[in-house]
Structure 1
Amino acid sequence: MPSSVAPPGWPAGVRAPDVERWEQTAEAWLLDQCPPEYRGYPALRKHVVVLARFALLHVEAMQAACRRGLSETRGALRGVAPHDVVDAAIEVWLSEDARLSRVRREVGLVEEALRGTRFRARL
């Protein structure tokens, strides 16, 4: 039975916890989830668990913006875009909300692992 297990929902680009260099792959992946400016902050580069917290809050903020966009689309675009365009915009918001939900889970799992949680294989 392997000692390093990645749980369901673990990001594909990050090695399982405790595998050699897993934290480096986590850092690179987390930076990809953040605004590019975050790469310039030494505190985030030196402390990957801090980076994980920043990434989590960033993704949650994007989720909130997405949900706001979804709730306001029909009213905000009424009279300025045809119904089929508004419907297409709503589909984009729904797709983005689903993507962000997945990313939120992935970032949360990486943060848990960086804080010391280890996952076990389930039968």
Structure 2
Amino acid sequence: MGTVYVPPGWPDRVHPPGAPGWEQTATEFLLDCCPADYRGYAVLRRHPVVLAGFAAAYVEGQLTASRTGLAQVRVRLADHVSPEVVEAAAAAWHQETARLTRTRRAVALVEESLRGRVFVPRL
């Protein structure tokens, strides 16, 4: 088997589709994107494509919450902490929103691959 192309944003720790153990690495990655309690559902551990849908919904919810936190941080904290702390909190929300945006893309790519999509490089 030749080299399999994975697009930008593919998670480093997930083997390329078709590689030995790729679905296991995908499952581990997806479970790490979810609350620990999700590990208790056999259907999610046994069916990576089902897990991918759960992970996508969970990460999207986190991203929505992070965007809300970022939008409200200055107003909610202005009367309670110094301006420097408000800015540090805003920076943390901004970093978390960026991280979750990357995670959402990675989860979507893995889900697409689990559903049979083959990625090809653009020329």
TM-score range, shorter chain: over 0.9
What secondary structure sits across from 2:108 in the alignment? helix
2:118 maps to 118
Q: CA deviation at 1:17?
A: 0.7
What secondary structure sits across from 2:104 in the alignment? helix
Q: In the aligned structure 1, how far is the partner of 2:3 from the partner of 2:12?
A: 18
Q: CA deviation at 1:20?
A: 1.3
Q: In the aligned structure 2, how far is the partner of 1:90 from the partner of 1:52?
A: 30
Deviations 1:34-86 (A, max 9, x none): 11000001111111101001001111100000011011111111211111000
1:31 maps to 31
Q: CA deviation at 1:5?
A: 1.8
Q: In the aligned structure 2, how far is the partner of 1:48 from the partner of 1:112?
A: 11
1:90 maps to 90
What secondary structure sits across from 1:98 in the alignment? helix
Q: How many residues align?
A: 123
Identical-pair percentage? 50
Q: CA deviation at 1:3?
A: 5.0
Q: In the aligned structure 1, how far is the partner of 2:19 from the partner of 2:99?
A: 27
1:80 maps to 80
Q: In the aligned structure 2, how far is the partner of 1:81 from the partner of 1:10?
A: 39
Alignment gaps of 5+ in structure 2: none
What are the within-5 Å matches in structure 2 for residues 59-70 of structure 1?
59-70=59-70
What secondary structure sits across from 1:56 in the alignment? helix
Letter in 2 for 1:60: E
1:51 maps to 51
Q: In the aligned structure 2, how far is the partner of 1:98 from the partner of 1:110?
A: 19
Q: In the aligned structure 1, how far is the partner of 2:78 from the partner of 2:99?
A: 26
Q: In the aligned structure 1, how far is the partner of 2:42 from the partner of 2:48?
A: 10
